[in-house]
Amino acid sequence: MPYRFTTGDVKKIAKRLGLQKIRDKVWSGTDSNGQFLQTYIHDHGDGIQIKTGTAKRQAEQMGFCDLEDMKDFLNNNKRKR
C-alpha cells in the first residue's frame, strides 16, 4: 500500500526541516545539519492529495531515504533528522 501525503503534510514537513517559501512553488533552506535543501510544492490546498511519484521526488529533495522515512518523520513530532 503506497503512502499518501497531502499538500498540507508536505508543507508541514518542509517547515519542520527549516525550509521557507522563496517563490510561488519553491521552498528552500538549510536543515539542522547545514545541508541545503530545496523542493517544489504545488499548492492546490492543504487537503489535496499529491501523487505518489511527486511525493517520492519531494522525499528525495528533502533528504529522506524513502516515503516510509518521510511518513515516520511526519507522524513522530519528536523525531529529529
pLDDT at 36: 95
For β-strands 26-30 and 20-21, DSSP reports them as antiparallel
Domain count, the chain: 1
Q: Is residue 80 part of a domain?
A: no
Q: Is residue 70 part of a domain?
A: yes
28-67: per-residue pLDDT in tens?
Answer: 999 888 899 999 999 888 999 999 999 999 999 999 999 9
Domain residues for 41?
5-75
Q: Is residue 81 part of a domain?
A: no
Confidence class for position 2, pLDDT limits 50, 70, 90: confident
C-alpha span between 25 and 65 (Å, rounded) = 23
Query: Would you say residue 22 has pLDDT above 70?
Result: yes
Q: Is residue 65 part of a domain?
A: yes
Nearest residue to 43 via CA among 5, 11, 18: 11
User: All 3 cell numbers of residue 70?
Assistant: 518521510
Query: Would you say residue 17 has pLDDT above 70?
Result: yes
Q: Check which CATH number belongs to the domain holding 35 and give it.
A: 3.30.920
pLDDT at 1: 65
